[in-house]
Structure 1
Amino acid sequence: MNLRKTSILAVCGLTLLGACAPAMTDPGDPGMSRTAQGALAGAAVGAAVRGVRDGDSRSAARGAVVGAAAGAIAGNILDRQAQALQQSISNPNVQIVNHGSYLQVVMPDGILFATGSAAVSGPAQSDLYAVARNLNQYPNSRVEVIGHTDNTGSAALNQDLSQRRAQSVAGILAAAGVAQNRLAATGRGFNQPVASNATEAGRAQNRRVEILIRPTQ
């Protein structure tokens, strides 16, 4: 890309980022809001697509503007949705992580299920209903419910248990009004640990259900 193109894209990107986060001067700062991160990512993608497609700097600049605007909107929605989830879920052990392009709700199995069971406990159902209300408030997303176990027992047993647990959680979200066509339930057994299975503390972290919320527009 020549200097003229680079300058145009830089101006577009900085202008839009200034509108999204006027106090932010370092794009690599981990404190940058998801709105600003979305604008930056959208500007880059938009510029690349338009520039390659049309082959000129004006198209690349227009792509940067459009992409940044779309990215900023998506990032702002995720910011607000994550904040609303934090406020509505009562159990402090539930984690809500905003990854920028999707939200991750991590629910330890200790608050969801009795040992070896796929029946969701009463208190956990209240939090799942809160998640469902949030999903209905922000309907433009698809939702992946993923069950995980530790490595105690056979692979087949854990795969089955993780699948049934994911389906139980997805079933409650559906019962609370989340459209079935938005939901997918998957069991991963003990194949995706987040901690060592050599200790009880590590195994407890691995036993979890994750709800991934991925915007569709």
Structure 2
Amino acid sequence: MLKRSHTFLAVAVSTVTLAACTTNPYTGEQQASKAATYGLGAAAVCGLVGAIDSKKHARNAALGCGIVGAGVGAYMDAQEAKLRTQLEGTGVRVVREGDNIRLVMPGNITFETDSYNLRGSFYPVLNSVGEVLAKYADTTMRVTGHTDSTGSRQYNQTLSERRAQSVADYLATRQVSRNRMLVQGVGFDQPIADNGSAEGRAANRRVELYILPNSL
């Protein structure tokens, strides 16, 4: 019976390995999907359950766990590729972090100086973001506003909150449910560059949209 369980584990891992291969949408080359690490880990761990308990429900749980592990990564892979295509050349950076996606929206293209009103030229960009987010609805989002260190802490805290809210409000008009969004401002407490230079301050003025997959 133990030998049979080991055979199942090998099949489950091989199945997930094949599913984890994907084609890079930019180079056309075959590569390991972001899902590979998580999918293979899930299959291996759950496969051990099948090796210990040979009952049918344990084997089904092992296979199901591998599929779920691969599914989350593959879902976010597809969403990432769509966002990169839609946002190419807009100035918005798409950053992949494990199974999460972070969109960095620089302040110089999103807002007028010292304002939380969206630039009219940024609406088409948010339209593209909203289109993808509405399609890939099995995610939640954290919309975070950031400022540079010029001015008082309270002023920057309020400005960062209002800028994040402006982005969230607009996305809501593009059929992105408010229930999926957590909106917050952190003022100048999370800089990504040196506030001692004009370039650094410009980089710190931004809104970040962090996209996280729901549990499948």
TM-score by length of 2: 0.81
Q: Quick one: distance in 2 between partners of 1:151 and 1:7?
A: 60
After superposition, the Cα gap between the structure-2 partners of 1:182 and 1:90, relative to the gap in structure 1 and judged at 3 Å, is same
Q: 2:52 aligns with which of 19, 36, 56?
A: 56
State the match for 1:123 in structure 2: 121
Query: Any idea what the Cα deviations from partners look like across 1:48-98, whole Å, max 9, x if unmatched?
Result: 8xx4xx992548765443222111111111111111111122544211122
TM-score by length of 1: 0.81
1:193 aligns with 2:191: yes
After superposition, the Cα gap between the structure-2 partners of 1:140 and 1:120, relative to the gap in structure 1 and judged at 3 Å, is same
State the match for 1:67 in structure 2: 65
Query: What 5-or-longer segments of structure 1 have no aligned partner?
Result: 24-30
State the match for 1:153 in structure 2: 151
State the match for 2:34 in structure 1: 34
State the match for 2:28 in structure 1: none
- Give the drift of 1:194: 1.6
Q: Quick one: distance in 2 between partners of 1:175 and 1:45?
A: 43
Q: Quick one: distance in 1 between partners of 2:58 and 2:203?
A: 46
After superposition, the Cα gap between the structure-2 partners of 1:203 and 1:136, relative to the gap in structure 1 and judged at 3 Å, is same
After superposition, the Cα gap between the structure-2 partners of 1:66 and 1:110, relative to the gap in structure 1 and judged at 3 Å, is same
Residue type at the aligned position of 1:157 = Y
Residue type at the aligned position of 1:194 = I
Deviates more, 1:139-148 or 1:56-65: 56-65
CA RMSD of aligned residues (A): 2.9
Contact 2:102/2:210 (CA < 8 Å) preserved in 1? yes
- Give the drift of 1:183: 1.6
- Give the drift of 1:33: 1.8
State the match for 2:27 in structure 1: none
Query: Any idea what the Cα deviations from partners look like across 1:153-177, whole Å, max 9, x if unmatched?
Result: 1111111010000000000000111
SS of the residue aligned with 2:189? Answer: coil
Q: What are the within-5 Å matches in structure 2 for residues 1-217 of structure 1?
A: 12-21=12-21, 32-43=32-43, 46=46, 51=49, 56=52, 58=54, 63-89=61-87, 91-216=89-214, 217=216
Deviates more, 1:167-176 or 1:71-80: 71-80
Deviates more, 1:7-16 or 1:135-144: 7-16
Query: What 5-or-longer segments of structure 2 have no aligned partner?
Result: 24-30
Contact 1:81/1:134 (CA < 8 Å) preserved in 2? yes
Q: Quick one: distance in 2 between partners of 1:44 and 1:84?
A: 30
